[in-house]
């Protein structure tokens, strides 16, 4: 079993992304890693890096067999799919904003709303 990569030898691990308020990232990451099962975190200091997750999905018509999800080819997971979803593509994105952005100037509130729309 030792010759197989870690993602095949261990149970699946969730990846969460933290965006904004970088001073809170170590505290939240430590807590999530202490859970059973542990939750990995991918910390981004601000929303400018959120585009790392926006990869164009393949066109379903270009896939030979549309009855299978795009990450499965002929009944086999694509290469490095498990690793990618463990370390690069989060299943959850937590957006953190300072309170003055939410309870301050209305233009700041509009900026928060547009930032949330960009995450969606």
CB of 72 closer than 8 Å to CB of 78: yes
Q: Are strands 39-44 and 92-95 parallel, antiparallel or unpaired?
A: unpaired
**Span 6-16, pLDDT tens digits:** 777 877 788 89
Model confidence, pTM? 0.69
**Span 53-93, pLDDT tens digits:** 655 555 444 445 456 667 677 777 777 877 887 888 888 88
Listed in order, strand segments (DSSP E) in 12-73 are 14-19, 39-44, 72-73
| Rounded Cα gap, residues 39 and 18, in angstroms | 12
**Span 94-115, pLDDT tens digits:** 888 887 777 767 888 888 888 8
3 pLDDT exceeds 90?
no
Closest CA to 63 of 54, 51, 53, 73: 73
How much is the pLDDT for 62?
A: 47
How much is the pLDDT for 25?
A: 93
Q: Where are the domains of the chain?
A: 6-119
């Amino acid at each position: 079993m030792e010759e197989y990569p870690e993602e095949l030898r261990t149970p699946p691990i969730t990846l969460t992304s933290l965006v904004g308020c970088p001073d809170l990232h170590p505290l939240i990451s430590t807590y999530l890693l202490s859970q059973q099962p542990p939750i990995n975190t991918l910390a981004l200091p601000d929303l400018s890096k959120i585009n790392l997750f926006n990869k164009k999905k393949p066109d379903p018509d270009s896939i030979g067999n549309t009855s299978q999800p795009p990450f499965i080819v002929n009944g086999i997971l694509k290469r490095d799919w498990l690793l990618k979803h463990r370390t690069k593509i989060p299943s959850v994105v937590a957006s953190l904003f300072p309170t003055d952005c939410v309870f301050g100037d209305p233009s700041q509130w509009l900026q928060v709303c547009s930032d949330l729309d960009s995450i969606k």
